[in-house]
Amino acid sequence: NAGVTQTPKFRVLKTGQSMTLLCAQDMNHEYMYWYRQDPGMGLRLIHYSVGEGTTAKGEVPDGYNVSRLKKQNFLLGLESAAPSQTSVYFCASSGQRGEQYFGPGTRLTVT
């Protein structure tokens, strides 16, 4: 039981490049979330999903897109990366109780 995994762990992009972050969970959770965390700050919700095939906007959705084609996977895409998107990205999943389990994070630098 791996819990929540994220790939890649690190990535450097140039402004304007695109990339996709992958999140996978093996706990059969319905809910999945993508957050970003800037240095010294708390987590901000980008997008979330309440089940396979559904997505919804969070607090800071601009510049990001997501897809939930399979229940266990939640993808976060950056179509045209900007330096303001330099951050650590965390994925989380939760069951009905609401307790979220987090992945190890992806550190993204946009130059």
Partner 1 sequence: GESVGLHLPTLSVQEGDNSIINCAYSNSASDYFIWYKQESGKGPQFIIDIRSNMDKRQGQRVTVLLNKTVKHLSLQIAATQPGDSAVYFCAEVEIYSNYQLIWGAGTKLIIKP
Rule CB under 8 A: say whether 2 interacts with partner 1: no
Backbone torsions φ then ψ of 31, nearest 5 degrees:
-95, 135
**Least separation in angstroms between CB 93 and partner 1:** 11
Measured CA distances, 1 to 5, 11, 106 (Å): 11, 26, 20
**Least separation in angstroms between CB 67 and partner 1:** 17
Q: How far apart are CA 10 and CA 89, in angstroms?
A: 10
* Tokens at 79, concatenated: 């179509």
Rule CB under 8 A: say whether 39 interacts with partner 1: no
Q: Which of 58, 61, 63, 77 binds partner 1 (CB under 8 A)?
A: 58
Identify any residues that bridge with 10 across adjacent strands, giving them in sequence order: 107
**Least separation in angstroms between CB 42 and partner 1:** 4
By CB under 8 A, the count of residues binding partner 1 is 23
Say if residue 88 is exposed, middle or buried (CB neighbours under 10 Å; 0-12, 13-18, 19+): middle
Q: Which of 43, 52, 72, 73 binds partner 1 (CB under 8 A)?
A: 43
SS3 98: coil
Rule CB under 8 A: say whether 71 interacts with partner 1: no
Q: Which residues bind partner 1 (CB under 8 A)?
A: 4, 31, 33, 41-45, 48, 50, 56, 58, 90, 92, 94, 98-105
